[in-house]
Amino acid sequence: MSLIVADGLTKTYTKGAVSVEALKDLTFTIDRASFVSFIGPSGSGKTTLLNLIGALDRPTTGRLLVSDTDVRTLDRRAAAAFRGHTIGFIFQEFNLMPVLTAYENVEYPLLLVQRVPAPERKQRVLALLDAVGVADQQNKYPDQLSGGQKQRIAVARALVTNPQLVLADEPTANLDHANAALVMSTMRRMRDSLKTTFVFSTHDPRVMAEAEIVFRLEDGRLVSRDDTGVAA
């Protein structure tokens, strides 16, 4: 059963008379509970593709189903609601809110997006912080945390809403090797326990090795799919 179905997906940016085709005729599927990486050089279209899958942007042509929802049909509010209930995001620069503590950052989507009642909120936030190994840092503000701690909190924030899909754009790009490995193992462990689908982009060979399925993008085209990690 596929969580993501892309069929003839293209994305073209137009500015004045100039058009740039960022994604060209992509067709692929991603199953639920997969641990998938899109790799490729800068400008290959990784971030653009993740933005489309995350309903942050709309494809120019083609069909894109995410959890059986055609993301092209979503208006602004519907896309926000869809993201809030279906997708978690992890960013390269962590993007934690600097005025909120680690606990409050993880709590934010439950509080202001999903409006979950307080007792359940607390239980879920503490469970996630514990699961990603930063429970003891919950009262600290982002500027008091290391990069690895921030990214693990970002992982907890992405997972706290019980999304079907987590999208991570270069999640280890700002981390050293040890922290990158820790974050990747955390993500993988969370996938194993929660059965959440993880899709991330990277050009870090060490991170690629963690993925079960690796899609290679070049110049906006999907040039290969490597499923060897699944068997491994």
Backbone angles phi, psi at 65, to 5 degrees: -105, 130
CB nearer to other proteins: pick between 79 and 213: 79
In the complex, the smallest distance separating the C-beta of residue 46 from other proteins, rounded to whole angstroms, is 14
Verify binding: residue 181, other proteins, rule CB under 8 A: no
Instruction: State yes or no: residue 97 binds other proteins (CB under 8 A).
Output: yes
Angle between helices 118-131 and 177-194 (to 10 degrees): 130
Contact 86, 119 (CB under 8 A): no
Nearest approach in angstroms of CB 129 to other proteins is 17
Least spacing, CB of residue 51 vs other proteins, in Å: 5
Among 111, 135, 173, 208, binds other proteins (CB under 8 A): 111
Residue placing its CB nearer to other proteins in the complex, 6 or 110: 110
Q: Which stretch binds other proteins (CB under 8 A): 11-19, 32-40, 53-61, 202-210?
A: 53-61
Closest CA to 171 of 134, 198, 202, 147: 202
Give burial (CB, 10 Å; 0-12/13-18/19+) of 223.
Answer: exposed
| 15 lies in the site for other proteins, by CB under 8 A | no
Contact pattern for other proteins over residues 144 through 173, marking x by CB under 8 A: -------------x----------------
- Interface with other proteins includes 40 (CB under 8 A)? no
Rounded Cα distance, 229 and 212, in Å: 4
Q: Which of 5, 6, 27 has its CA nearest to residue 221?
A: 27
113 binds other proteins, rule: CB under 8 A: yes
Strand partners, 63: 7
Asked if 108 interacts with other proteins (CB under 8 A), we say yes
| Sign (positive or negative) of CA dihedral 163, 155, 71, 67 | negative
How many residues touch other proteins under the rule CB under 8 A: the total is: 28
Nearer to other proteins, 102 or 213 (CB): 102
Q: What angle do CA 219, 90, 29 make, to 5 degrees?
A: 50
CB-side neighbour CA atoms (13 Å) of 168: 35
Q: Which residues bind other proteins (CB under 8 A)?
A: 51, 54, 56-57, 76-77, 80-85, 87, 89, 91, 93, 95, 97-100, 108-109, 111-114, 157
